[in-house]
Structure formats: structure tokens, C-alpha cells
Chain A
């Protein structure tokens, strides 16, 4: 455990530039993860209510009309 902690410290936090990079990269990853996850929950709660769930009907219809 101590070995892991010290290796993380040495790899990511020892140099300020590396730590800055770590902060930016982890912020980006966290935001990506949070947005993806919350979007997934929201879409599952509102299954079938949003336009993206029903638009296929009308898109197909439009293509049929053109043929």
C-alpha cells in the first residue's frame, strides 16, 4: 500500500508540471464520465419520451415518401 502510494506520488505529483497535467487530465476524464453516466440515467428514466427515441418513425416515413 505504501509502495503504491509512493509510486503514485513519484509518478504524478512530484513535479509540478506533471501534477498540473494530472489535474487537467483527471478533470477531463471525470467530466466525461459524469456526463456520460448522468446522460445514461436520464435517458433510461425518460425512455421513449424524447425526440431521439421516436424520430426513427418519421425519418423512415420521409424516406418512404421520396421513393
Chain B
């Protein structure tokens, strides 16, 4: 304790002395000549002119470049862009969480009973449902409800057969033109990759499904045949609100509120777009685990190999310095 206090005192004393010296020095300088200080400042301004000018030029050119090319250029008004969706804490979006497969099952039910009347899901086969949210028997029974074309038979006729697990989900319309004709000119998009295809992903779809107001706000222009939804770019969407409380009846007893159905169908659509997500996350963690072990190992090997190089000591012994003239052969001494 005393040692500490003493050393602290010792450090304080020179500080005080330095402060005293500095004060006296400035006093003496200002008292002696005023011209010398003015000259000093002038020369320091001259030496700093180049770096200061270069800095100003650099800042200025960056600022000009930013205001010219760096800012967001919005070709559309905020109404035409659509309201940004709220960020929701999706449980399945966490790095260490799989899809909630009970939710996928409910979401598929919502898709089948509500969305499928207009939207196709043409990239998802029945077999993908097996082992994810349906048993084999359920999926087979579901596939057999629909008819598919067979290969041409011996007479070249194409017949109909019941669906198999390898068949893809049937589309509600034969082609895009038929879909447009049936929907007042608006094409209901295929939902297979919709979560990946829209900015905001799950948040956007959930916000869109639950974001229909009771009536459009005052002053909003809604075209004939369109519905108002602030999250849809342009705010006029051909799809009307479809999800209402208790629209479907879940077989696991979950209460089918609007937001519950929207959440389930959004998670289901995320699965449709990224069916590999569960395995991808698990594999990613395994890769991280193994590569961190390998990284630690490589750090250890590096230190092991470098230890003799890092800890060696180089000793330089300079040659003995002597006058070069003394090395010359001496003439015989004549005296």
C-alpha cells in the first residue's frame, strides 16, 4: 500500500513541475516578441495547406459522388412501392430451428382449402409431403383424388389415370391465359417459390394476408375490381381478403384465427420454396463444428512448427575493428 502511494506521489510531482514550466514558457514567449509567433503560425499554415486541401478535396469528391450516384433512386412513390412489411420473429427462421411440421400440415390444409382455388403450387409433388407433414397413406389418397394424363397407349390415345406420389400438385387453371380470363385479367402467381420471390419473404406474405383494412382509407383511389392492401405495391390488389376466422377447421384442434392461418400458410409456403432448409441448417452446424476443430488444430500445428523459429536467439559478434594501416607491411625502420 505504502509503495503504491509513494509511487503515485512521485508521478504527481513531475506533472506539476511540467505544468509550471509550460505556463512560464508561454508567458515568456508572449512577452518576448509577437512577430516570431505570427511567423510560426504562418509557416505552419503553409505546411498544412497541401494535406488540408487534399483532405477537403477527397471529402468533397466523395460527397459529390454520393449525392450523384449513392442515394436511393425511387422511380415510384411510397404508395406505389407498397408499405414495408413488419418484421416478425419467425421461429423457423432461426439458425438452429427446423420448420414446425405441425404448422406445415395446417398450412398445407389452408393452401388446399383456400389458396388452391386460384393459385397453383406446380413445383411441389405429393411425395414431398411424405415424411414432412403427411403419412404415405394420406399422400397417396390425396394424389388419387386427381386425374393425370397417361403415356400414349397402343392406339396413341392419352387416357386418364389416378394420381401417384410422383405427380405434382394440380394447377387450378390449364394455363396462364385461362387464369387471367377467370380472374378479371389478373394472374394469380404460382406460389411454389413465392417466399423467395418477394422482398420481405415471409413477413411480406403474412402482412399481405392479414393487412386488408375494413375499408380503404380516405383519399385512397381503388380501381374497379381491385382491393386495397397497403402492403401490395400500388395498393390495388386483385385478390380480395380470403382469410377470416374459422375459415378452415384444423384437425389438431388449433384455433383457426386469421393470423394463425396466415402464419401456417406462410410457413408452409416457406417450406415449399426451401424444402431443404431443415437438413441445410443441420448440415451447416456439423460443418461449423468440424471445421472449427480443424481450424484449432491448424493453429496449434502452426505454433508448434514456428516455436523454434520464434524463440531462437541471434547473436551477432562484430569483427574486431582495427586500423587498416596497421595491417600494411611496415617499411624497415632506417633510423
Chain A residues with CB below 8 A from B132, complex form: 51
Q: Could you tell me if B98 and A49 are in contact, using CB atoms closer than 8 angstroms?
A: yes
Point out the residue from B97, B100, B137, B282 that lies within 8 Å of A62, measured CB to CB.
B137
Residue among B251, B252, B282 facing the most chain A CB atoms (10 A cut-off) = B282
User: CA A58 – CA B286 in complex, angstroms?
Assistant: 31
Chain B residues with CB below 8 A from A35, complex form: 286
Q: Could you tell me if B252 and A50 are in contact, using CB atoms closer than 8 angstroms?
A: no
Q: Residue A32 at the B interface, CB < 8 A?
A: no
Chain B residues with CB below 8 A from A45, complex form: 96-97
User: CA A51 – CA B98 in complex, angstroms?
Assistant: 10
Q: Could you tell me if A58 and B97 are in contact, using CB atoms closer than 8 angstroms?
A: no
Q: Could you tell me if B97 and A51 are in contact, using CB atoms closer than 8 angstroms?
A: no
Point out the residue from B102, B137, B278, B290 that lies within 8 Å of A54, measured CB to CB.
B102
Point out the residue from B98, B138, B251 that lies within 8 Å of A50, measured CB to CB.
B98
Q: Could you tell me if A46 and B98 are in contact, using CB atoms closer than 8 angstroms?
A: yes
Say which size band chain B's interface belongs to: 20 to 34
Q: Which residue of B lies closest to A57 (CB)?
A: B252
Chain A residues with CB below 8 A from B134, complex form: 58
User: CA A61 – CA B96 in complex, angstroms?
Assistant: 31
Say yes or no: A62-B99 contact (C-beta < 8 A), given A38-B286, A51-B131: no
Q: Residue A15 at the B interface, CB < 8 A?
A: no
Q: Could you tell me if B135 and A46 are in contact, using CB atoms closer than 8 angstroms?
A: no
Say yes or no: A54-B138 contact (C-beta < 8 A), given A38-B282, A42-B282, A45-B96: no
Say yes or no: A54-B289 contact (C-beta < 8 A), given A42-B282, A62-B138: no
Say yes or no: A38-B101 contact (C-beta < 8 A), given A51-B132, A57-B252: no
User: CA A53 – CA B132 in complex, angstroms?
Assistant: 11
Q: Residue A2 at the B interface, CB < 8 A?
A: no
Q: Could you tell me if B135 and A62 are in contact, using CB atoms closer than 8 angstroms?
A: yes
Q: Could you tell me if A55 and B135 are in contact, using CB atoms closer than 8 angstroms?
A: yes
Chain B residues with CB below 8 A from A38, complex form: 282, 285-286, 289
Point out the residue from B97, B133, B286 that lies within 8 Å of A46, measured CB to CB.
B97
Q: Could you tell me if B252 and A59 are in contact, using CB atoms closer than 8 angstroms?
A: no
User: CA A63 – CA B67 in complex, angstroms?
Assistant: 69
Question: Shortest CB–CB separation between residue B153 and chain A, in angstroms?
Answer: 34
Chain A residues with CB below 8 A from B135, complex form: 55, 58-59, 62
Interface residues of A (CB under 8 A from B): 34-35, 38, 42, 45-46, 49-51, 53-55, 57-59, 61-62
Interface residues of B (CB under 8 A from A): 96-102, 105, 131-135, 137-138, 251-252, 278, 282, 285-286, 289-290
Which 5 pairs show the lowest CB-CB distances between chains A and B?
A51-B101, A46-B98, A49-B100, A54-B102, A49-B98
